[in-house]
Structure 1
């Protein structure tokens, strides 16, 4: 018998699946929000910025409970989805949503820093040549922000791998369905004789996190040298 049970393998696979899905789904929204916050002046910008960064300061359990109120059967959005036969709570989609909400500020911040570091003269030159805003975005801003996009995506992926508090509230801890690695570790840690299994999954989690950080640093240095 190997060090991993079928439930452990399911938890590792689901963690990777949730992290990839949360990152891919959030990326277009992250780019859009970073662009708006970097280049479009509007009233209440400080308030919007505070709201965007709120998940960084709120306990994940609070975020999970607020999502539960929103997406539950009696929630505003959950009630509408339930009427058309769509259930989010206690499915792996709920884990994706929880990870996306918790990691979104990291994604936006990295992309925004990259966008705001672009030489304004390049953007003005593009616009003076008659380029529309979307042309400037696609041909100037996004290529020059690639390093920030990669950095933000890797940070969000790593954050999603370790998400626990919001996930256990909105998705539950159902083996083979919503049990990610952090939830499996939590279950093992509270079970008699589960210390070794918990430690094994901790090592896997640490290894994956180190791999993500290594890729983050490697890609960042490669892009810096190329620039």
Structure 2
């Protein structure tokens, strides 16, 4: 019974995603199901790979060479730009969030509860933070503002994910054991503490990247020029366009999220296994 309930729930949640993906390859959808011949024109229009009057025109493309294959792939500038912005935000979350999670878990110091509260609670909604950035830093390049804003808005997810991993460990015992065997503090951190928390770090990175890439309110207010953030790419492809083109744009997001999630997990597994705990 439990498996049946789980299957029905999964089908209810995943079904619309799969149907949307399939619909993006059909010419039209006027009834209960997509109809017409198969086509890739909606994907080409959404990605800006063909001439069209709409969201992606004029955004440009990046030429990405695939190592060891001799192949070159045209990546829409808005997508490549957004992936880099979100990854940069994740980098800041790692540099700042992991030490905070470690400190509030490992040590008891004055202001610990306040630091923990501030770190795990969202500071402000994206729209409020965007307005504050415009008023406080009017000349800040939009790319820099987006990176900082993404890291601030998504930091609680990183801290909570990593903190849960640290709380499941006996940090004091691990540190004392490593130090008694002659390991320095940096080596203890790099080869013992962080590898044991890799699941939380990888999970936090995936969540932060996924939410940052789709952050609309902050991006809409702060963005000024250059390649558009991915959330604006989605918005413009969905607004005043046929459903199949909107379906193609949404499907691009799902594919990128799956790809980046796999890459982050693979990178995390390789990075943490080198000289540390498997």
State the TM-score, normalized to the length of structure 1. Answer: 0.74
Deviations 1:121-178, CA, capped at 9 Å, x for gaps: 2223335567665443233211211222222112211112111111222224x4xx15
CA contact (8 A) 1:188 1:197 kept: yes
CA contact (8 A) 1:14 1:179 kept: yes
Q: 74, 77, 87: which one pairs with 1:10?
A: 77
2:133 is matched with 67
Q: 142, 160, 166: which one pairs with 2:194?
A: 142
CA contact (8 A) 1:95 1:178 kept: no
2:149 is matched with 98
Task: State the shift of 1:205 in Å.
Answer: 0.8
**Structure 1 gap ranges (5+):** 73-86
Deviations 1:12-48, CA, capped at 9 Å, x for gaps: 1111111122112332212221222211222222222
Larger radius of gyration: 2
Say if 1:40 and 1:12 are closer, same or farther in 2 by CA, change over 3 A. same
Q: 156, 165, 175: which one pairs with 1:114?
A: 165
Say if 1:210 and 1:129 are closer, same or farther in 2 by CA, change over 3 A. closer
Q: 163, 177, 183: which one pairs with 2:232?
A: 183
Q: Would you tell me which structure has more helix in proportion to its own residues?
A: 1
CA contact (8 A) 2:86 2:150 kept: yes
Please list, as runs of the form range in 1=range in 2, the aligned pairs for 1:71-220 lying within 5 A after superposition.
71-72=137-138, 87-89=139-141, 91-119=142-170, 120-127=172-179, 133-172=185-224, 174=225, 177-190=226-239, 192-193=240-241, 195-213=243-261
How many correspondences in the alignment? 205
Say if 1:40 and 1:68 are closer, same or farther in 2 by CA, change over 3 A. farther
Q: Distance in 1 between matches of 2:178 and 2:213?
A: 39
Q: Distance in 1 between matches of 2:246 and 2:92?
A: 30
Task: Answer 1 or 2: higher relative contact order, Cα 8 Å, separation at least 6.
Answer: 1
Q: 8, 18, 26: which one pairs with 2:93?
A: 26
Aligned alpha-carbon RMSD (Å)? 3.1
Deviations 1:187-223, CA, capped at 9 Å, x for gaps: 3444x44654333211111222234455678899999
Q: Distance in 2 between matches of 1:71 and 1:194?
A: 38
